[in-house]
Structure 1
Amino acid sequence: MDRAISASEANQHFSELLRDVSEGQSFTVMSRGRPVARVLPVDRDQERRSVDRLLKFVTSLPVRHSGNWSRDDLYE
């Protein structure tokens, strides 16, 4: 469950907030009593699945010919 924290408190204690997030806690940042942001740990498994899906998509794209050029052509 998220812990509510004011925007000013998050700003003043940002390093501590990041340490707590790295330990698994999550926060809802409130501004004038309304939720405006969530700070939560990165889901490494989901991140890896996203990268895998992107790589699968990119490798499925057709190879395009870019013409004949050399490395020297890039630096003329």
Structure 2
Amino acid sequence: MPDGLVSAAEANRDFSKMLRDVEGGARITITKDGKPVAVLSPADPSMNLDRSSTHRRMMELLAEGLPLGFRGGVDRDDVHSR
């Protein structure tokens, strides 16, 4: 399947073939009622899909406690006043 337009019904039916084509560099626009709604394209190779190290670092930061920038000066009445 070369670059081009594919209906949502075709995309549903031929998704495996579309993935193979995209692996080969194709860019496919999926349409619904004749209007483009999504694009299937090759992933950016520089994209880091390993999120485990990011998750681990976020958990470390949360365990350390993050400053929220709160300086005080707001009490319950201030929050609820209109």
Q: Same fold (TM over 0.5)?
A: yes
Report the aligned-residue RMSD. Answer: 2.8
Unaligned runs of 5+ in 2: 52-63, 66-82
Query: Matches of residues 7-22 of structure 1 in structure 2 within 5 Å?
Result: 7-22=8-23
Instruction: Name the counterpart of 1:37.
Output: 38
Query: Matches of residues 1-76 of structure 1 in structure 2 within 5 Å?
Result: 2-47=3-48
Q: Over alpha carbons, which structure has the higher Rg?
A: 2
In 2, the alpha carbon distance for the partners of 1:45 and 1:14 equals: 24
Identity of aligned residues (%): 40
In 2, the alpha carbon distance for the partners of 1:23 and 1:47 equals: 20
| SS of equivalent to 1:17 | helix
Unaligned runs of 5+ in 1: 52-62, 65-76
| SS of equivalent to 2:12 | helix
What TM-score does the superposition give when structure 1 sets the normalisation length?
Answer: 0.58
Q: Alpha-carbon deviation of 1:46?
A: 4.8
In 2, the alpha carbon distance for the partners of 1:47 and 1:29 equals: 25
Aligned length: 62
Point out the structure with the larger helix share: 1
Structure 1 runs of 4+ with >6 Å offset: none
What TM-score does the superposition give when structure 2 sets the normalisation length?
Answer: 0.54
In 2, the alpha carbon distance for the partners of 1:47 and 1:10 equals: 27
